[in-house]
Structure 1
Amino acid sequence: MSDLKKQITEQMKVAMRAKDKVRLNAIRLMLADINRIEIDERTELDDARVLATLDKMMKQRKDSIAQYQAAERPELADKEQQELEVIKTFLPQPLSDVEIEDIINNAMLTSGASSMQDMGKVMSIIKPLVQGRADISAVSAKVKARL
């Protein structure tokens, strides 16, 4: 079992003892998604894969919040926001703009990227480094602007 999954499981127990229903429900959703992937793929996820799963869940929550706000359903948007805050507690510290620029510069030098055709090479280097620590689409837009 990955360290991150163990940490999430321990926090579920803490939330149960504290009777914190919001946190407990969000943690249960995270563990359910992780367990579903493990069962589907018949494998145990490592920390990087758990992090990618949490990152995906975070993106889903952001999309849901935007849709609920557009539909004028603030109560549902608030619920999604609360889940988003719980998910964020398990993700590593976000990268600063300077750190993201350094990662992009290093990836472009490493891959020898010179045109938009090299976008895939650059992003394949960057993605594992920023997973869960930065918005991939924003990083992709910065890379695209540079190429």
Structure 2
Amino acid sequence: MIKGLYEAHLPVRNLETSIEFYKKLNFEIAYQKEKLVFFWIEKGRSWLGLWETDKVETPYHPSLRHIAFQVDIEDIEVAKEWLEQKGIPVKTDFGFRPEKQPLVLPNNPNAHAAIYFQDPDGNSLELITPLRLDFEEDFEMMSLEDWNRKNN
């Protein structure tokens, strides 16, 4: 029955500023009203709604104001440079300097490569790709570079 996630929503302070930011990520506007815009993530399959609202003041927590966008492994390998070319810094919340990113997350029994950044309102955004599914192995979070060295 359920095939995937069709939409997600984030609060923003200024819709025009947010539109310019999300266009940098190559999102196409699907629908727009005065205080709302929907961007296609994958045209006809998923979209992101941005709402201009004072709810943007809700403090960040991983369960709120966070979206992870799936990318291919080839794309995650160049994601840091791609973001930097667009003037978007990567987050270093996990103690890994930008040059040591993307990260590999130990979500046992799965492993994912990811890189985190923020939109102009502090909403947490993530590019992520699965590296290994359903394989039990404990390991510490590491850089994708270290993962590749260890597993190739």
TM-score of the pair, normalised by structure 2: 0.30
Higher strand proportion (structure 1 or 2): 2
TM-score of the pair, normalised by structure 1: 0.30
Of the two, which has the highest radius of gyration? 1
